[in-house]
Amino acid sequence: MKIFLDTANLDSIRKYNDLGLVDGITTNPSLLAKEGGDVEDIMVEIVRTVKGPISLEVISTDFQGMIREGRTLSKYGKNVVVKVPMTPDGLKAVRALRSEQIRTNVTLIFSANQALLAAKAGSSYVSPFIGRLDDIGDIGMDVVKDIKTIFSNYDFECEILVASVRHPLHVIEAAKIGADIVTLPPDVLGKMMAHPLTDIGLARFLEDWKKTKSSTPKITVER
């Protein structure tokens, strides 16, 4: 399963990218607005920093506007994926951009039917928003399960990008279903790495090592 970061924060992106944990990035207008500064500069810098797919979202809601923006965004780098909303014009834009070899990610997906239509339109990715479904009392992960079954039945090439992830349990559930990608807020990725028993165990090992009165291990034995 690939791990994307769901952020426009360059410090977080650099931090986790340096650890080799980032397969791609998703952004949206809210995430970019949160960063302040020149939005275009931030997008260009993200595209330069991470090699994998970078989803950059259009703001237009009409077909022509989406195409125009999609073409512009795609010029930022070969790894750009144009994010379009799940609307009739959005689906039309997916098909048109695909004919120009521009990859798309259909966002704001809340049902398996929407994902089916996005895949049929030729999108490279669908983004079901799990946390927002959970928020209204639905089971977001059930939508991911249905999408997985449908895409397998028809061999769609479209990848399932699980979005609106709120906690590490969402990641485990998505992985068990076999979703292709999860996109994570940086704090969720941090939480995935941590376990109190790891910290306790490491502290104990280091304490015990001190009792040996050695410094760090040296190579004294011929191999």
Site for ligand E4P in 22-41 (CB under 6 A): 26, 28
Give the position of tokens 């009792």.
211
**Nearest distance in Å: CB 105, ligand E4P:** 7
Q: Out of 13, 147, 163, 181, which residue is the one contacting ligand E4P (CB under 6 A)? A: 163
**Nearest distance in Å: CB 183, ligand E4P:** 5
Decide if residue 17 touches ligand E4P (CB under 6 A).
Answer: no
Give the C-alpha distances (Å, rounded to integers) separating 202 from 108, 196, 218: 42, 10, 20
Cβ contact 110:132 at 8 Å = yes
| Closer residue to ligand E4P (CB): 141 or 216 | 141
Instruction: Tell me, by CB under 6 A, how many residues bind ligand E4P.
Output: 11
Decide if residue 164 touches ligand E4P (CB under 6 A).
Answer: yes
What sections of 58-195 are H helices per DSSP? Answer: 63-74, 88-99, 112-121, 130-135, 140-154, 168-177, 186-193
Residues 6+ apart with CB under 8 A from 136: none
DSSP 172-199: HHHHHHT-SEEEE-HHHHHHHH--HHHH
Task: Note if 83 is an active site residue.
Answer: yes
Decide if residue 159 touches ligand E4P (CB under 6 A).
Answer: no
Decide if residue 158 touches ligand E4P (CB under 6 A).
Answer: no
Q: Out of 129, 133, 151, 177, which residue is the one contacting ligand E4P (CB under 6 A)? A: 129
Decide if residue 116 touches ligand E4P (CB under 6 A).
Answer: no
Exposure of 92 in the CB half-sphere (CA atoms within 13 A): 10
d(CA 160, CA 179): 6
Secondary structure element (H or E) that encloses residue 59, with its range: none
d(CA 49, CA 41): 12
**Nearest distance in Å: CB 28, ligand E4P:** 4
Q: Out of 74, 104, 107, 123, which residue is the one contacting ligand E4P (CB under 6 A)? A: 107
Residues 15, 51, 78, 83: which is the catalytic one?
83
Q: Which residues are catalytic?
A: 83
Instruction: Name the residues that contact ligand E4P, by CB under 6 A.
Output: 6, 26, 28, 107, 127, 129, 131-132, 163-164, 183
